[in-house]
Structures are given as structure tokens and as C-alpha cells.
Amino acid sequence: MPATQANIEYWFRLLYECFHGSCYGSPGITGLSAWLANLWLWIIVVGYVLSVLALLVIIYSTVRIFELRKHEEEYYETLLLAPDTKTGSHPRWEHIQKLVEGESPSEWREAIIEADIMLEDLLTERGYDGAGVGEKLKAADPAHFKTLQDAWEAHKVRNQIAHQGSSFGLSEAITQRTVAHYEAVFREFRVI
């Protein structure tokens, strides 16, 4: 037989004998199966441990999410509180006034937009129908809404801010006048 050929029968015989117990002193197929069973047992144990750890992580994450949601509710609920009847103040209105007192036009824009949202909430509370502030103001009766013109003037400025964005030249005087219009409406309906 030439030296370049591999003896396949020899290798198959070695493999066969290894499975039947004569592979360098190993106990044979029963030893291999015992080793595989031991390996499988470890895989199962590690799997259970990882599953329990994953379950603990899921439980912890769920609890933290609920705590975060509760904290967010408490935080955001403060801006929606009714006015304090003892002091006559309204948290949303105080926030708007702080923004008006700011020095940047972005704060003034935010103040006007917040006041318009507050106006929309007021109109919805009073039962005015419409998709937005403009439609609700159209549905308003001037006999029961003495500051209707103030609401329109303020809402027009808000629309200019919304449509033109930062290109709208919002000055401190325009901001003060617009917020004064909103204030007149809120005082009429005793929101502030």
C-alpha cells in the first residue's frame, strides 16, 4: 500500500472500539452517555438560573416603570390644578407669568401658546363646541362672553406664532398686550 493513502478502515475501527470501551481506558459508550447526561444536567441548571435572573429583572423593571409613571402623574398633574380659592392663584397662570417675565422671545412664545391652551380648556369646560379655539370662539355668544374680542385678539397672535414660528417678530410689548387679553378673559370667567 502506498504511503500517501489514508487507511479509512483503521480510523473507523478506532472509533468503533472507542464507543465500545477500549478507547485508551475510557469506560466506553456508557461513560460517554454518562458524561453527556452530566453535561445536559449542567445546561439545565444554568438555564434555570438564567431564567430566574431574567424573571427578577423583568419584575424589577415593571415595578420601576409603575413608580416612574406615578411620579410623572404627580409631576404633570400640578399644572392642571384648579385655582386655589384662598389665594386666588392658578398654577398654570403663574407659570405663564413667569415665562412672560423672561427675557427671550422663545419664553414669550411659550407663554402665549400655554395661555391659548388654557383658553381652549376654559372654552371646552364652558361647553363651547369646535375643533379648535377659533371654532369655539365662533360659536360663542357675545352677550354671554364680554371679553370675546380680547380672546380673538390674543388667539390671532398665537396663530401668527404657530404659522410663522421664529420669523414672527414677537416683541415684549406684543407679548404683554397679548397676555393682558388672555388675562381679561380668564378674569371674566374667574379662572384666575
- DSSP notation for 12-80: HHHHHHHHTT-STT---HHHHHHHHHHHHHHHHHHHHHHHHHHHHHHHHHHHHHHHHHHHHHHHHHGGG
* The pTM of the whole model exceeds 0.95: no
Would you tell me the crossing angle of helices 91-100 and 172-188 to the nearest 10 degrees? 160
Question: What is the chain's alpha carbon radius of gyration, rounded to the nearest angstrom?
Answer: 38
- Helix axis angle for 105-125 and 91-100, nearest 10°, is 150
pLDDT of 95-117, one tens digit each?
999 999 998 999 999 999 999 99
pLDDT at 77: 65
151 contacts 114 by C-beta, under 8 angstroms: no
Identify the H or E element spanning 119.
helix 105-125
Give the start-to-end residue ranges of the domains of the chain: 11-71, 91-188
At residue 85, the pLDDT reads: 47
- Hey, what's the cell of 125? 369646560
Q: Is 149 exposed, middle or buried (0-12, 13-18, 19+ CB in 10 A)?
A: middle
pLDDT tens figures, 73-92:
877 665 444 444 444 568 99
pLDDT, one tens digit per residue, over 135-144 is 999 988 888 8
Contact 116, 158 (CB under 8 A): yes
Q: How far apart are the C-alpha atoms of 66 and 69, rounded to whole Å?
A: 5
